[in-house]
């Protein structure tokens, strides 16, 4: 109860102290437009007239597993404040922090007695590195200096980034943050160039900043190609992650993108994507897109000992996919396909972000798998100028056999069907600033589980419910 009182006090103070000023600025990622505020030659004025933003979140999570396997539930509540100065000769300073409290949850330190595994989803509301902790966390998220000049932007320090592979993955109490140098240039309306060098990260569902290499393996490490448990956590050597991006819009409704992620001494990932819309009859649009990714191991994959490396020396993987759909407001219908070839596993640290593929469905990923066929369909209902958003999605994910192809199935997940129900509502009038979000996920095994509960628990034959209340002020 004392945590509720503490949280209410923080929330009350911030609500009274700062007038409502719109949604929290979740990310300062370059988008080609500088902030439309007047510059000043007074440093004092820049600080005294800066802007405060805040957010508060309540999150209920419940996972119901098959038969006598343990179920989990959690209730978390948190609040955060962000401050950014006005421009001073193009420079701006920003800082933000976030508090999380565990108000009523399962004992997340007690493993399931059948599989001896702890919670996968609910523990993510708190600190996955400390299952037996209180779950009450204080997190420093942003602390950076930004420089804007016309169509150029430079950010140094702790910040939020959203890219196809390295992203916020904002599906728990606080998003992933990163520390490093990031730049953005928009020569004209058709080109967008950005990138940087990242050397520290604050992964979602943790309570610490880590070096890039030491963050890899905080989440479950899965298996090596020989089927034995992977053991690369704390055994990798990398100086950081370099990212380069260039996008081009030949016409208004077509965008071509290229991203390259150079994880020093471990792996390089090159990602290409094109997306577009074409008008058709009855005020509708035809939606289309294509993706391709190539990954290659660098040197020894992080460690000269293959038992301790992130990927094998000389390993590579390739991924391609497509998307087609029809948009006729307020409806959007999408059909998506993704193929990871049998050349190798698609790998990218889960601590850093979610999959970029068209077939991605919240609460599961294709990272760690090779020889995959994935197909999903999605229906979205989002009336113009309406506070309601509804999405229904279904997918089939054909994965390598858990036992016979363990070298292509890092996390020992059988093929499965997945269904998602996603509902969001932005409240109006006296509740303006409040957003309700309900996400219900079910996964059903299609592949062989070999009657082994370790291949089922929190992976398939489960129901996962999330209720989130977000308030932005």
Confidence category of residue 226, pLDDT binned at 50, 70, 90 = confident
Predicted confidence (pLDDT) per residue in 352-400, tens digit = 999 999 999 999 999 999 999 999 999 999 998 899 999 999 999 999 9
Report the percentage of the chain scoring pLDDT > 90.
Answer: 88
What band does 27 get if pLDDT is binned at 50, 70 and 90?
very low
* Torsion 226-227-229-231 (CA) sign: positive
> In this predicted structure, what is the pLDDT of residue 126?
96
| Contact present, 453 and 462 (Cβ < 8 Å) | no
Determine contact, residues 351/318, Cβ cutoff 8 Å. Answer: no
Place of tokens 């577009």: 276
pLDDT at residue number 25: 39
What values do phi and psi take at 180, rounded to 5? 165, -160
Q: Is the pLDDT of residue 143 over 70?
A: yes
Mean pLDDT, residues 21-38:
41
Mean pLDDT of all residues belonging to the chain: 91
Residue pair 308/235 in contact by the 8 Å Cβ criterion: yes
Q: What is the CATH number of the domain that holds 375?
A: 2.40.160.10
pLDDT of residue 38: 59
Tens of pLDDT, residues 30-89:
343 344 455 667 899 999 999 999 999 999 999 999 999 999 999 999 999 999 999 999
- pLDDT surpassing 70 at residue 315: yes
Answer yes or no: is pLDDT of 202 > 90.
yes
Contacts of 22 (CB under 8 A, 6+ apart): 53, 472
- Taking the C-alpha atoms of residue 171 and residue 191, their distance in angstroms, rounded to an integer, is 31
Residue-wise pLDDT for 166-176, tens only, equals 999 988 999 99
Band of pLDDT at residue 408, cut at 50, 70 and 90: very high
Q: Report if pTM > 0.85.
A: yes
Supply the pLDDT for residue 108: 95
Lowest mean pLDDT among 16-30, 223-237, 408-422: 16-30
**DSSP bridge partners of 466:** 61, 439
3-class secondary-structure state, position 233: coil
Asked whether the predicted pLDDT for residue 22 surpasses 90, the reply is no
The CA distance from 201 to 381, in Å, is: 36
Instruction: Work out how many domains the chain is built from and give that number.
Output: 1
Which one-letter DSSP state was computed for residue 3? H
Whether residue 1 has pLDDT greater than 70: no
Domain hosting residue 84, numbered range: 2-472
Supply the pLDDT for residue 41: 73
């Amino acid at each position: 109860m004392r945590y509720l009182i503490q949280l209410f006090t923080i929330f009350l103070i911030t609500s009274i102290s700062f007038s409502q000023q719109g949604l929290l600025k979740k990310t300062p990622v370059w988008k080609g437009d500088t902030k439309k505020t007047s510059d000043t030659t007074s440093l004092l004025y820049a600080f005294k007239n800066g802007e405060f933003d805040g957010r508060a979140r309540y999150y209920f999570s419940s996972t119901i597993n098959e038969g006598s396997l343990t179920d989990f539930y959690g209730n978390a509540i948190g609040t955060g404040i962000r401050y950014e100065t006005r421009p001073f000769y193009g420079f701006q300073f920003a800082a933000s922090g976030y508090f999380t409290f565990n108000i009523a949850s399962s004992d997340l330190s007690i493993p399931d007695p059948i599989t001896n595994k702890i919670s996968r989803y609910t523990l993510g509301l708190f600190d996955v590195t400390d299952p037996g902790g209180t779950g009450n966390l204080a997190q420093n998220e942003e602390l950076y200096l930004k420089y804007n000049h016309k169509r150029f932007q430079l950010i140094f320090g702790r910040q939020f980034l959203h890219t196809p592979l390295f992203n916020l993955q904002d599906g728990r109490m606080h998003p992933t943050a990163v520390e490093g140098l990031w730049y953005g240039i928009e020569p004209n309306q058709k080109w967008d160039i950005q990138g940087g060098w990242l050397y520290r990260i604050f992964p979602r569902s943790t309570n610490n900043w880590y070096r890039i290499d030491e963050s890899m393996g905080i989440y479950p490490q899965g298996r090596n190609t020989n089927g034995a448990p992977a053991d690369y956590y704390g055994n990798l050597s990398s100086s950081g992650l370099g990212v380069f991006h260039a996008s081009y819009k030949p016409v208004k409704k077509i965008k071509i993108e290229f991203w390259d992620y150079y994880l020093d001494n471990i792996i390089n990932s090159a990602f290409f994507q094109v997306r577009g819309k074409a008008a058709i009859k009855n005020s509708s649009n035809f939606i289309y897109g294509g993706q391709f990714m190539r990954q290659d191991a660098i040197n020894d994959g992080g460690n000269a000992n293959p038992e301790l490396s992130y990927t094998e020396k000389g390993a590579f993987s390739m991924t391609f996919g497509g998307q087609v759909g029809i948009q006729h407001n307020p409806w959007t219908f999408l059909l998506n396909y993704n193929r990871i070839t049998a050349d190798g596993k698609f790998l990218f640290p889960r601590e850093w972000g979610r999959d970029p593929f068209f077939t991605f469905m919240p609460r599961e990923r294709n990272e760690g798998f090779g020889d995959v066929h994935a197909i999903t369909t999605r229906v979205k209902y989002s009336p113009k100028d309406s506070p309601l958003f509804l999405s229904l999605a279904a997918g089939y994910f054909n994965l390598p056999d858990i036992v016979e192809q363990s070298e292509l199935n890092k996390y020992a997940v059988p093929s499965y069907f997945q269904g998602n129900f996603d509902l969001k509502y932005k409240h109006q009038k006296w509740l303006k600033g409040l957003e309700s979000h309900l996400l219900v996920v079910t996964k059903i095994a299609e592949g062989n589980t070999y009657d082994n509960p370790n291949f089922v628990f929190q992976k398939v034959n489960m129901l996962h419910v999330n209720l989130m209340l977000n308030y932005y002020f």
